Structure formats: C-alpha cells, structure tokens
Amino acid sequence: MTVEDRIEYLRNELHRHNYNYYVLNSPLISDKEFDDMMRELQDLEQAHPDLQDDNSPTVRVGSDINKNFTQVVHQYPMLSLGNTYSEDEVSDFYDRVAKALNEDFEICCELKYDGTSISLIYENGKLIRAVTRGDGEKGDDVTENIKTIHTIPLVLHGDYPKRFEIRGEVLMPWESFEALNRERELREEPLFANPRNAASGTLKSQNSAVVASRKLDAYLYYLLGEELPCNGHYENLKAAAKWGFKISEHMKIAHTLQEIFDYINYWDSERKKLPVATDGIVLKVNSLKQQKNLGYTAKSPRWAIAYKFQAERALTRLNKVTYQVGRTGAITPVANLDPVLLSGTIVKRASLHNADIIAKLDLHIGDMVYVEKGGEIIPKITGVDKNARGILIGEKVAFITNCPECGSKLIRYEGEAAHYCPNETACPPQIKGKIEHFISRKAMNIDGLGPETVDQFYRSGIIKDVADLYHLQATDIKKVERMGMKSIENILTSIAASKEVPFERVIFALGIRFVGETVAKKIARAFSCIEDLENADIETLTNIDEIGTKIAQSIISYFKNPTNRSLVARLKEIGLQFKRPEQDSNEYTDKLAGKSIVISGIFTHHSRDEYKLLIEKNGGKNVGSISSKTSFILAGENMGPAKLEKARKLGVPIIDENEFLSMIL
Ligand code: IVH
C-alpha cells in the first residue's frame, strides 16, 4: 500500500467512525483504536504536507493560528421566525395557513434549539463553508471552527445533491456548559450566562483549538438548494440524515391542530430531559410547494412559526438591592434574593432593569417576589406577592443617587429609562467600555483583543486609555497575558494598521455619547478636521442634518472635558486620521439625491461597504429592507429569493452594478 492509499484509507475510516460515534451514538471500535488511527494519520500528514486535505478528519483537532473572520453574503438571507406564546396564537397561525392554502397540508413539528444558527455549504459532498447568521444578510466565515464539531460531517456519503446549503443550530450541551463554567470559575474568568452565549462566543473564537476543546454539538433543521431530493421538508431532512447529518429524532408530522397541541404539551415538560437547551417548538408547513405559495414577510416566512415555552417562575424573598455600572455608565439595579431553585439552577440574583420598574413593582425590602427565567439565564423579577406582606413591611427600595464605582452623581437623559454615571473619563467600567468600543470592528477594527484581554490590560495598568494602546510593546503584553508570539504580533500589527482608519470611523471610535456610525459620518462630511469639530458651537452642530440638540450638547460637553481634549491631542500626535482626505470633497455629488436604495447579493467591482459609501457620497440613502418607498435595488449575484419576490411584488426596479456605476459616473 502506498502512503497515499494509507492516508486515504485512514481518512475514510475516521470519517466513518466519527459518524458512528458522534451522530449515531453507536461506536464500532474502541476509543483507543480511533485515537491510534488519528495519530497515525496526523503523523503521515505531517510527513507529507503535499497530501494535505482541507476536510481531513485531523482538522477537527483545530489549530491555534490566529485568524480573522471574513464576511460572507448569504445566498439566501437568514430570516428569523415569528414568535407566539399561546395556543391561541398557534391556532391563528394554523387558520391563516389553512385559509391561504385552501387545501390539505401537513405541519412539521420540531424542537426549537436554543443555540446559535449556522449556515453550511456543501459542494460535491464536501463541507466548503460555514457562516454565522450575522445580520441575516451576511455573516462571519467560521469554517475552521465548525470543522472541529464532530457532529458536522466534513464529507458526506450516499446520494446527496451536488451543491446545497443546510442550516441548523450550534449548541453547547448542558453538561459541557456546566463543566466549562466550573473551570472558568476556578480560573476566575467571567462565566457564560447560558449555553447559547457559550456556543456563540466559542464559535467566534479566533483559535479553533479552543473551539475543539469546548465540545459543541449541532442539529440541522433546514435544507436549501435548487436540487433537493424530496418535495417535503421532513423528507428532505430524513434524506440529509442519511448523508451524515445529525437531524433531530423528535420531528413529527401533524395533520391537525390537536396533534400540534399534543406535541407542544408533551415537549413542554419532556424537554427538560434533553441534553441541550430548547426554548420552544417550531412549526413548519411541510410541503415546499406550499411554503413557496405562502412566501415571506419582510422579516420571516409565512410558512413557519415559533412557539415559545412559558418561562418558569419561582417565589422568593428580596433581601437587598445592589447596583452595577455598565460599560456605557448605565446603572443596572440587581435584586439579591434568598436562594431559590428555578429551572434546575439556584438563583440568588435577578435583574431589576431600571428605576421605573422598581417603582412600578412598588418594591420593598423583604417582599416575596416572582423570579422568571425567560430566554435569558439572567433571571428577572416580574412581580410581588403583596398578600405575603405582613404588618411589618420593609423599607421601600429607593434608587441610588450616586455611582457605586466612583461616587459621581447619577443623571438621567430625557427619554431614557436608565440612570447613568456621567463620569465617563474616570469611572473604571466606563473606561474599559470605551476601550472596547474603540477597538471594535466598526470603529478602529483592532483584532485579537477581547473584553477579557482589555480588562486584564487595564487592571495591570499597561493601558489606562485608548491612546496607551499605541505605545504597547510585545514585552508589556507578555507580562500580563499568556499569549503566543503570533497573537501578540497580530495585535500590534492591527493597532498600527488602525492609524489608517478614516476620519469618520475615528470620530465614531471616540465613543462620544449618542454619536453612532451614521452621525459620525455626517460629522465627517460637515467638518474637514477635528479642530473644527472641537470648536463648533451648538448652532453649527444642529445645522447638520440629523443632529439635534441632544447630540449637539453631548458633542460639546465631550470636548469641554479637558481629559477628552488631551486624549484627542495625544491620538493626533500618534498619527490617527483626524482630517478628511483632501480629494474627498470632490467625490460628493447629488446624483442619487432622494433615492432610497437596497443592496443585495455579491458584487465583483466593489465590496458592499464600498457600494454603501458610493451611495452616500452621491447623496442617496442605503436602506436595509425593501418597501414601496425603495427607489431601486442594487443587485449582485445570488440575490436571495425572498427579496426577489418582494421586489417583483412591489414593482421595485432591480439594477446591476454596471448600470449603477454608470449612473454615478
Ligand atoms: S427554522 C426560515 N427550525 O430559531 C426558517 N429554526 O427565530 C429558519 N431555531 O434563527 C429557521 N430551532 O436559530 C428553525 N427547528 C428549528 C429551529 C430554529 C432553533 C432558531 C434559529 C433561528 C431562530 C428563529
């Protein structure tokens, strides 16, 4: 046998045994035999790099090479589902479908898995790409991370279509979730609030070896493509199970409303025995033809709906209210409770949201309160049992007046529910929040630094504000974080590269309250340099489109603060872009004035973001969804079918990129 043959043999065997073990739960060989084969394959691949294969079973081990995610446009947008909370609403859905179809139909009942959704693309039986939901239009390419999940097949068997997409939910089973949090507690790392956050956080890890160690699982529930084998959703998924996918065993076809209710009632309690989190039931019209006839609303399919299980609640005593300061300075009141068992965990603390909610509940210390866990693992107080109040009623809960972190007097902005600590430049959680915002993708786009690293850098004193980032040395980082040289280099390169980030994003990155991305763009258009902005008065500011007094005042108060002024001066000296590029002003036209334009699909000449910029520079407005007010759709390749149908229905013109470019020439 040649080395090549041996490698191929091992790969096939490992794929087969992986499937038997992880998907079918019926291993045919011992763990040791499996590990031995894997090791042999790893050794052979290392010795023969020319025989590399991106879908080899060895990729499941992951790698610690730091990698940034690229964004990928979904061929079909990833929509969400309409939610219902009562049997009446389910019955309404059923009636709506019956009326619209006016013929017999089947409903496929499924569990609603509570993880993070993923889109997988297979070509010629091989996994070629895995993308997160993102904003529904485009997501992050997380293929390397996904490949570490054993229940996701890398190569398929049987009679699969040449190209298709399959969507599903990546989950962290309760057991892995609890073990992970136990470990994190020992290492004094922040805990994950729920398995959903743990799964999505893990999937976004830059290090696929970490993903491999986290024991994720995946259920697939939606097959898309031009050449699916069957006419029914249920039947297609059963076929996909034969190709190697993990499909829920608990799908069921219902022919009547009563059968749907039976399914809901059964799983309402039975789901607690499942190894993964579920938060409801999904009901889907089974026939693909009928699905097509029912179509889509702007946000979700008309042929499917989610039914969310009623959250469990418990009654317990309120002992004290404490207050947390968030990254934006927002204050969250937290109820400290007598420990109580709720959905299998002991609850001691619950969120009280804001001062209005406390007042509305007429909360007193010592009250018996109802605690609920909705979709969130962080429970909330939803009511007070006033009958349980004795003659001795405790003190009324009064919202604090000063920041518990820095002592500043709290303020409340008009129209906002939260109280804020205004001490943006010296209140520790706010400083960390500002740094996190500064480095975020839409701001300075500095990679490799997450909230945990920022926290560590801040606590160890190597950065006190965002300007300090630019003076970081590899040796500083090495002192405080156990990080490989490659990761450190990546961070430093990324920091240096951020000096080229354009003016409008630098303005956004400063984190001036109420100055979001759009406002930052308007400001960058109105002022050619930061000095003009620093010295602008309220009138000049409010003259800018979309800037009202609230934003204007916030900008003025930002630049009035000497700490902010000196920070901006330091950043200027470092070389950040505090000026609009010279030629920029010539690029503006009003050729698209008054036009509202939707971008959809994949383009060849420019990226989506560049098209967005072109629309804005020519006076048009880029909008997210199609309506009767849309002037036209700038469409690339693979525009999603839902969008296409909507555009046709509303008579919105569709133009391609060449036509568009000639419009603005
Ligand atoms: S079908 C167009 N089926 O729930 C239909 N979704 O709000 C697309 N989910 O984003 C989804 N279990 O992440 C479907 N059995 C299931 C599901 C499911 C969980 C999630 C999914 C989706 C969200 C819908």
CB of 234 sitting under 6 A from ligand 1: no
Q: Does residue 313 sit within a domain?
A: no
Look up the CATH number of the domain holding residue 9.
1.10.287.610
Tokens for 355, please give them. 């001062």
Residue 170: which of 237, 127, 114 has the closest Cα?
114
Token pair 């990729």 in the structure block, residue = 59
Q: What is the number of domains present in the chain?
A: 5
Residue 213: which of 41, 63, 416 has the closest Cα?
63
Same domain assignment for residues 184 and 37? no
Same domain assignment for residues 121 and 253? yes
Cα–Cα distance measured from residue 287 to residue 643, given in angstroms and rounded to the nearest whole number:
21
Residue nearest atom 22 in ligand 1 by C-alpha distance: 80
Tokens for 589, please give them. 């036209």
CA of 375 to the centre of ligand 1 (A): 14
Confidence of residue 391 (pLDDT cuts 50, 70, 90): confident
Same domain assignment for residues 24 and 170? no
Confidence of residue 66 (pLDDT cuts 50, 70, 90): very low
Q: Does residue 472 sit within a domain?
A: yes
Q: What is the pLDDT of residues 325-336, one digit of tens each?
A: 987 898 999 999
Q: Where are the beta strands (DSSP E) in 35-98?
A: 71-73, 83-84
Average pLDDT over residues 403-423: 91
Cα–Cα distance measured from residue 152 to residue 169, given in angstroms and rounded to the nearest whole number:
11
CB-side neighbour CA atoms (13 Å) of 138: 15
Same domain assignment for residues 657 and 605? yes
The helix-helix angle for 31-47 and 3-18 (nearest 10°) equals: 140
Q: What is the pLDDT of residues 73-106, one digit of tens each?
A: 999 999 889 889 889 999 999 999 999 999 999 9
Contact 337, 347 (CB under 8 A): yes
Does the pLDDT of residue 603 top 80, yes or no? Answer: no
Q: Does residue 240 sit within a domain?
A: yes
CA of 284 to the centre of ligand 1 (A): 10
CB of 169 sitting under 6 A from ligand 1: yes
Confidence of residue 60 (pLDDT cuts 50, 70, 90): confident
Tokens for 528, please give them. 């050619």
Same domain assignment for residues 45 and 125? no
Same domain assignment for residues 439 and 496? yes
* φ, ψ of residue 410 in degrees (nearest 5): -75, 155
Report how far Cα 137 is from the mean position of its chain's Cα atoms: 13
Q: What is the pLDDT of residues 217-248, one digit of tens each?
A: 999 999 999 999 999 999 999 999 999 999 99
Residue 16: which of 28, 3, 2 has the closest Cα?
28
Same domain assignment for residues 165 and 273? yes
Average model confidence (pLDDT) for the chain? 89
CB of 301 sitting under 6 A from ligand 1: yes
| Range list of H helices, 354-502 | 355-361, 428-439, 451-460, 466-469, 474-480, 485-497
Same domain assignment for residues 507 and 470? no
Tokens for 315, please give them. 């009654």
Q: Does residue 66 sit within a domain?
A: no
Q: What is the pLDDT of residues 292-304, one digit of tens each?
A: 999 998 788 999 9
CB of 222 sitting under 6 A from ligand 1: yes
Q: Which long-range contacts (CB under 8 A, 24 or more apart) does 127-135 make?
A: 127/55, 127/152, 127/153, 127/154, 127/155, 129/72, 131/72, 131/74, 132/200, 132/203, 132/204, 133/78, 134/71, 134/74, 134/78
pTM over 0.85: no
Tokens for 57, please give them. 């079973």
Q: Where are the beta strands (DSSP E) in 92-251?
A: 107-113, 116-123, 126-132, 138-140, 163-171, 217-224
Q: What is the pLDDT of residues 482-507, one digit of tens each?
A: 788 888 988 998 899 899 899 999 99
Does the pLDDT of residue 188 top 80, yes or no? Answer: no
Contact 378, 335 (CB under 8 A): no
Same domain assignment for residues 138 and 278? yes
Residue nearest atom 10 in ligand 1 by C-alpha distance: 80
CA of 283 to the centre of ligand 1 (A): 10
Same domain assignment for residues 108 and 42? no
Least confident of 366-370, 409-413, 448-452, 504-508: 448-452
Tell how strand 116-123 and strand 126-132 pair up.
antiparallel
Same domain assignment for residues 171 and 253? yes
Confidence of residue 58 (pLDDT cuts 50, 70, 90): confident
Cα–Cα distance measured from residue 293 to residue 301, given in angstroms and rounded to the nearest whole number:
11
Of 112, 147, 380, 646, the catalytic one is 112
* φ, ψ of residue 524 in degrees (nearest 5): -65, -25
Looking at 500, 527, 558, the residue that finishes a domain is 500
CA of 107 to the centre of ligand 1 (A): 15
The helix-helix angle for 562-574 and 549-560 (nearest 10°) equals: 80
Look up the CATH number of the domain holding residue 238.
3.30.470.30
Q: Classify residue 311 by its DSSP letter.
A: P
Pocket test for ligand 1, best of 76, 78, 79, 81 (most atoms within 8 A of CB): 81
Same domain assignment for residues 41 and 172? no
Confidence of residue 252 (pLDDT cuts 50, 70, 90): very high
Average pLDDT over residues 379-383: 88
DSSP per-residue letters across 383-403: EE-GGG--SS--PBP---SB-
Q: Classify residue 115 by its DSSP letter.
A: S
Cα–Cα distance measured from residue 567 to residue 560, given in angstroms and rounded to the nearest whole number:
12
Domain that holds residue 120: 102-288
CB of 113 sitting under 6 A from ligand 1: yes
Q: Does residue 400 sit within a domain?
A: no
CB of 112 sitting under 6 A from ligand 1: yes
Cα–Cα distance measured from residue 436 to residue 430, given in angstroms and rounded to the nearest whole number:
10
Q: What is the pLDDT of residues 137-148, one digit of tens each?
A: 888 999 999 999
For the CA of 114, the nearest atom of ligand 1: 19
CB of 616 sitting under 6 A from ligand 1: no
Question: Would residue 204 show up in a list of annotated catalytic residues for this protein?
Answer: no
Instruction: Judge residue 441's burial from the number of C-beta atoms within 10 Å of its C-beta, 0-12 exposed, 13-18 middle, 19 or more buried.
Output: exposed
Cα–Cα distance measured from residue 82 to residue 52, given in angstroms and rounded to the nearest whole number:
45
DSSP per-residue letters across 220-236: EEEEE-SS-S-SBHHHH
Look up the CATH number of the domain holding residue 514.
1.10.150.20
Token pair 């900008």 in the structure block, residue = 555
Tell how strand 252-254 and strand 107-113 pair up.
antiparallel
The helix-helix angle for 174-186 and 195-203 (nearest 10°) equals: 80
Looking at 61, 83, 110, the residue that finishes a domain is 61
* φ, ψ of residue 41 in degrees (nearest 5): -65, -45
